[in-house]
Amino acid sequence: MMLELKKRIAKTLMWSTVLYAAETWTLRNVDIQRLESFEMWIWRRLMKISWAEHRSNQEVLDMVDENRSLMNTIQQRQKNWLDHLLRSESFLRTVLEGRMEGTRTRGRQSTTMIDWMKSNDVEYDHIKKTAYDREDWRHWREMMMRVMIFCC
What residues does each domain of the chain span?
A: 2-68, 71-98+110-151
Angle at CA 148, nearest 5°, toward 136 and 142? 20
When pLDDT is averaged across residues 100-122 and rounded to a whole number, the result is 65
List C-alpha distances in Å: 86 to 17, 123, 126.
26, 14, 12
What pTM, to 2 d.p., does this model score?
0.64
Provide the Cα torsion 111, 114, 116, 118; round to 10°: -130
Q: What is the pLDDT of residue 125?
A: 66
pLDDT, tens only, 119-152: 665 566 667 666 677 777 677 677 766 665 555 4
Q: What percentage of the chain reaches a pLDDT higher than 90?
A: 25
pLDDT, tens only, 23-50: 888 888 899 999 999 999 999 999 999 8
Single-letter amino acid code for the residue at 152: C
